[in-house]
Structure formats: structure tokens, C-alpha cells
Structure 1
């Protein structure tokens, strides 16, 4: 049994992969609950048992920007200024304090039960597989995006894909010859429902002290103009889909099309894999297909929670002795 855990914007998802079956999400828990009760304490008993019995676990934590390989959690403990593969705390997104509790629980799982637990690195300037043009940016995406990319390769059957995760924020990746070579992080390109890049107005608000940069990012999505989005990241997308209409969907679809088509043109790709909450909304998909036109020969919608499921697949890859996954090394092969 192999387990993948996605530490995402709105909470934690746990996926289990058993031999002969596809990965399945077995638990979802919010960040506030984990901050209060601990990660393992917030999970059903059967899921905790699955974690203790797992052959390998692959998970992500924060931006993972002090890691350049899939790294055993015990080795990652002292990596980065903030530990466990974080160069620093803070950054893009609301902090609730659950992450430290989560990663310490997983460290205990590894040390007390002998379970191999690997942290997925973030995708950042020092990622070895990155195309030089993306090293202009400090960060491209957090580690769970490797899980989304792994699932995209499985679903599309292609090693050359643009992968887009569209939800409260939007992150797109470029995969060439099975290697993650670049992408556009949430604070750089197309806005999502809640988060988005800082425009001139936001920069002025930050400079004047009206907002922090993080607050500006966390309100930089279509929320700025739609006026129908809950500011809580755990409720933002569902609120948007319930309360906003065709025009708001069209605006967001065009902005996402701008991002993914640009990446596809530069890197000569014609397969798009779409994940995230917006991918499950038929009205949004209709608008996106209109905006994309005939740019992609293949558009595949990924299954629910592709990051957690893909991380479970990476756990299996590592358990089977892989020395690299998606162009990134495994620090201590099993």
C-alpha cells in the first residue's frame, strides 16, 4: 500500500494506492482542524492504520524550497531556515499554523513505525530539471504539483503536457519528455478565484502600508472584480461557482487560456491536462474550451484530487526503486 498526502491551500487530502487498483482519496481534513487536533488526530482510525502499514508515503509541505530531491523526512528535518525543506516561513497564502503540526506528526510516523516518508521538493530556481528561462523566478510551484504532473502523465498517456491546476489559485506546469521543466506560479500568471498576481494598484497598496504583500496576493484573484467570492480559501471556489455567472467564468477562462496557450506555444505542446476545483464545473469548462479554440489536440480533465493521488503513485515509484521522478532525483532510493 502506498500513500500520498497533499498539503494544499484549503486543507489536506490523503490518497491510498493498492496493487491492482487506482489511487483513491480516503480522507480530507481542514487546516484549522489539524492546527487544533494534530494531523493524525484529525484522521479516521482506518486511515491512520493505513499510514502505519504503508510501504511508502510521499507528501509535500509548504513551498519545499530548500529541497531539490524527493527527500526522506528525517533527512529534511534540518534543511532550510525553517526546517523540513522550507527556506523560510511566510510567503504566499494565509498561514494557520497547521503545517508544522502535520510535518511533525509524519516525522513521528516515520521514526516510530519505520514507514518511509518522503517530502516532495518544491519547484523553484534550484530544481535541477528546470529550463533556464524559469530560473528568473524564485518559485514555480509547491511540491504537490509533482503529484498533479504524475497523474497527468498517467491520464494523458503523454510525456509532453501542459498541466494546469485551476482553483482558488492557478498554477501551470510544463512537462517535456517526462520531466518538469518549468511553469507559472500562482503569484506570477493567471489569477484564480481568490489568489492572483500583484498589479500596480496592489503594489501601491503594499507600498502605502494598506495591505501586506501576502494580503494583496490573497485577494488578487477574480474576487477583485466579481464581488461574489468568499474570502475563506476553503469556501472560495464553491462560493464562486454558486453565486457567479457566465461572464465571471468567461473572464477567468480567458485568463487561464492566456497562460496555458503561451506555455504550449513556447514549448511546442499540444496536450493539456486540467485539474482543480474549476475543472469539475461544466459551465466553466465550456467557457475554457471556447477560449482555447483549437490550440490543443488533447484536453483531459484530471480526476478529483490529482495531487494526492499522484503523490501516492510517486510513493509507489520510490518504493519500486526509482532514482528520479519527473526529472527530479530521489535522495535515498529504496
Structure 2
């Protein structure tokens, strides 16, 4: 049996999907980034317990901002882990770096997926001119999964979780995206408003500290450990705390605004909208997904995918590159060694 693996480098955890030659799921697992950084768990130990790594044909990886590459690239050809810098990217734990190093040590055949940034020629030039960074590499992965799952060639994907990123896809190609630092709020990250700019100028906070407290956590007045923020906000809202309820309503508002903004610039007729991420697919304990759907279903059909979309999409990218020898994924060139 041959295996294909996908990786989603998320804010609080790193997720992996393993599929076989028939695209059937073999295993899905998540590793807490704090535990990885503290060396309480190791990727190489966990993966060896699940499969024979010698039978992995290809692993498609995402790592940090992915702004050091613009093509899907074999890991052996990548410099500096495919990033320009780790600064300004939210809280840094080091958990992703330990996984990257384990993968290199295990010699698993791997490709690195690029982020969406100004160096990506496949993006609409207006996005490239306007924003240095549009989205991290896992947005490519979840977009590919959404494309294969729904068949939508013209769509908007809203990935709502610790941060929120909405992606514009036209003719089956990624044309642009709105990153958390310039668009809708997530549970943790969000855009910097005037008060935050003043705090940065006065030296009260670094820009990265402000970014990491610019999501709806600031509205709910939640300042927990990063892995507890979402649950603490939901807990407040469930107990009818005014700030908690306002935080949820504000998240929904900002996501809807961003979706309508991307819809307004589409060149083609939209086929559908896809919601994903832990917030985008959430129906319980609070129906965030339903609150958003209610406002956007008037545009077109809405499809909801699970929060594991990034890892699954990455595994499908690995499968199609190694088995089907595709030379492009969502408009992104694939480099072969």
C-alpha cells in the first residue's frame, strides 16, 4: 500500500491527513503546537506508530507564511523553510519548526506549498499591488479541497478560525485573498484599527502583539492562552455575557462584509460560497455557520466543509502531483526535481 500525506500548519495545532492509493482516509491527527515546542510530543514518534513511512510517496506541506516561494516546490530545493521571516505572523511557538525538522530527518519525500503573496504571479495584479501578503499556504490546500469537493470553478471560500481569510477563485484558479491583518476578524487575529496603531506608536504593544489581540477576543475581553481563546469566548456568549454575544455578532458581520466585498469584484458569475474552519463549520454550541449562511445564501448556494479541509486538501495535492503528475494546482506551478 502506498500513502499520500497532507499537512495543515494552523495557529494552535498542526494537522495531518494520510490517504491511500484510492484516496481513502488512513488517518487524521492533530498535534498541539505548544506541546511540540516544549518537546512533550514528537511528530516522528507519532507518524511511525501510524504507518510505515517508507511507503509514503509524497507529503505536501504547509509552513508559516510561505512567502519565500511562489511555486509548489520539492523541499530539497527550498531555502530558509520557504519563508522570508517569522516576524509579524502572530504568536511564535516553534512547534512547526520541530515538525519541519523531523520531516527532513525522516527523509519523507515532500513538497512545500507557497503562501499567497505579492510575489505570486498567478494572483490578480491588483491584489499583488495592494497587499504584500494575502494568505498562508494552507489556504491553497483548503481551496483545492473545496474545488474538488464542490466542482465550483468560481467561488469565494471563507476560512474562519483563529484568524479569518477569504479566498477568491475564478476559472479554477486562486486570484486573490484577504488576510486576517487586513480583513475580517477571527477569534484571535484581526486588522489593526486606529487605537492599536496608537498603542504601537506609543510603545505599549508591538505590531505583532496588537495583531494577536485584534480578533474578537478584544471585544469579548478574553486574554487566555492561545488554545483556550475560542472556547472562552463561546463560554461567555453561552452565558449571555453582553461582550461575548457582541463578539460573535461582530465576527459574523466582518466575515459577511468580506464575502460581499470579494463578490463585488468577481469577473465571472459565482457558482457558490464555501465556509470552512472551526468557526465556518460551527453549528454548536453556537450556530456561527448558520448565522453567516442566512446573509449570503441570497447570492448563491453555500457549501460547508469541515475544519480538517486544509490537511485533506494537502493530501490531495500530494496525490495528484505524485500519481497524476499535474503541473498546476489552482493556477500554481508545480516544480519537479
| TM-score (normalised: structure 2) | 0.90
Instruction: Give the Å deviation of 1:25.
Output: 5.0
Tell me which residue corresponds to 2:260.
Answer: 261
1:298 aligns with 2:295: no
Residue 63 of structure 1: which of 62, 65, 68 is its match? 65
Residue 106 of structure 2: which of 100, 104, 109 is its match? 109
1:98 aligns with 2:95: yes
Tell me which residue corresponds to 1:175.
Answer: 169
Flag structure 1 segments of 5+ consecutive residues without an equivalent: none
Residue 244 of structure 1: which of 231, 237, 255 is its match? 237
Tell me which residue corresponds to 1:309.
Answer: 312
SS at match of 2:123: coil
Tell me which residue corresponds to 1:147.
Answer: 141
Instruction: Give the Å deviation of 1:51.
Output: 3.8
In 1, the alpha carbon distance for the partners of 2:54 and 2:38 equals 22
Tell me which residue corresponds to 1:131.
Answer: 124
Tell me which residue corresponds to 2:242.
Answer: none
Given that 2:6 and 2:314 are in contact with CA atoms closer than 8 Å, whether structure 1 keeps it comes out as: yes
In 1, the alpha carbon distance for the partners of 2:213 and 2:236 equals 18
Tell me which residue corresponds to 1:232.
Answer: 225
Given that 1:249 and 1:287 are in contact with CA atoms closer than 8 Å, whether structure 2 keeps it comes out as: no
Instruction: Give the Å deviation of 1:149.
Output: 0.2
Given that 1:92 and 1:187 are in contact with CA atoms closer than 8 Å, whether structure 2 keeps it comes out as: no
Instruction: Give the Å deviation of 1:53.
Output: 1.9
Alignment of structure 1 residues 27-42 onto 2, 5 Å: 27-37=29-39, 39-41=42-44
Residue 20 of structure 1: which of 13, 16, 22 is its match? 22
Tell me which residue corresponds to 1:220.
Answer: 214
Deviations 1:80-99 (A, max 9, x none): xxx01111222121001222
Given that 2:141 and 2:310 are in contact with CA atoms closer than 8 Å, whether structure 1 keeps it comes out as: yes
Q: Structure 1's 139 and 25: CA in aligned 2 closer, same or farther, altered over 3 A?
A: farther
Flag structure 2 segments of 5+ consecutive residues without an equivalent: 239-244
Number of matched pairs = 321
In 1, the alpha carbon distance for the partners of 2:104 and 2:201 equals 40
Given that 1:4 and 1:14 are in contact with CA atoms closer than 8 Å, whether structure 2 keeps it comes out as: yes
Given that 1:148 and 1:306 are in contact with CA atoms closer than 8 Å, whether structure 2 keeps it comes out as: yes
In 1, the alpha carbon distance for the partners of 2:188 and 2:53 equals 32
SS at match of 1:84: helix
Instruction: Give the Å deviation of 1:143.
Output: 0.7
SS at match of 2:134: strand
Given that 1:23 and 1:312 are in contact with CA atoms closer than 8 Å, whether structure 2 keeps it comes out as: no
1:160 aligns with 2:154: yes
Residue 194 of structure 2: which of 191, 200, 207 is its match? 200
In 2, the alpha carbon distance for the partners of 1:33 and 1:275 equals 25
In angstroms, what is the RMSD of aligned CA positions? 1.8
Instruction: Give the Å deviation of 1:256.
Output: 0.3
Deviations 1:144-202 (A, max 9, x none): 11111011112211111111110111011111111111010010101111110100000
| TM-score (normalised: structure 1) | 0.91
In 2, the alpha carbon distance for the partners of 1:19 and 1:241 equals 40
In 2, the alpha carbon distance for the partners of 1:212 and 1:221 equals 16
